[in-house]
């Protein structure tokens, strides 16, 4: 089946610094990738949708200048949390859509746990 990886799996950074999270589709080309955020004991909330070669579409309430998303190739999307604050600490999960699998199929990465101290 289609595999999505994320790197790093865990990251700790200091308040005010930026951190980049990578999402890769390993064995398929992903025209669309999605970024979710999950706070402890809560559900996954969609942050943004990125299409290869175009600007990401952010969900309401998500600051596009704080969460920079780049989908430069069909196998890689990156999420950069800029000027991180402790409240940005969360579990970030990406997913990728494989066109051949059909419109509604998404494959999820293993997630990245971000802790901002």
Of 17, 41, 21, the residue nearest 33 (C-alpha): 21
Are the beta carbons of 3 and 25 closer than 8 angstroms? Answer: yes
Give the chain's length: 117
Q: Kindly tell me which of 49 and 80 has the beta carbon lying closer to other proteins.
A: 49
Q: What sign results for the dihedral spanned by CA atoms 38, 43, 47, 48?
A: positive
- Walk across the sheet containing 4-7 and list its strands: 4-7, 19-25, 76-81, 67-73
Task: By CB under 8 A, tell whether 70 contacts other proteins.
Answer: no
Which of 60, 61, 86, 104 binds other proteins (CB under 8 A)? It is 104
Which of 13, 20, 32, 76 binds other proteins (CB under 8 A)? It is 32
Q: Kindly tell me which of 7 and 82 has the beta carbon lying closer to other proteins.
A: 7
**Rounded to a whole number, what is the distance in angstroms from the first to the last CA of the chain?**
37
Q: Among 13-21, 72-80, 81-89, 107-115, which window interacts with other proteins (CB under 8 A)?
A: 107-115
Task: By CB under 8 A, tell whether 5 contacts other proteins.
Answer: no
Task: By CB under 8 A, tell whether 97 contacts other proteins.
Answer: yes
Residue numbers at the binding site for other proteins (CB under 8 A): 32, 34, 41-46, 49, 51, 57, 91, 93, 95, 97, 103-106, 108, 110-111, 113
């Amino acid at each position: 089946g289609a595999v999505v990886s994320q790197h790093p799996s865990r990251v700790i950074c200091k308040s005010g610094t930026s951190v980049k999270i990578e999402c890769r589709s390993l064995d398929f080309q992903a025209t669309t990738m999605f970024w979710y955020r999950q706070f402890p004991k809560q559900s996954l909330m969609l942050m943004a949708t990125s299409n290869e070669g175009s600007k990401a579409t952010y969900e309401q309430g998500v600051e596009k200048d704080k969460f920079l998303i780049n989908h430069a190739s069909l196998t890689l999307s990156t999420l950069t949390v800029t000027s991180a604050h402790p409240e940005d600490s969360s579990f970030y999960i990406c997913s990728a859509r494989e066109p051949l699998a059909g419109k509604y199929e998404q494959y999820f990465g293993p997630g990245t746990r971000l802790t901002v101290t």
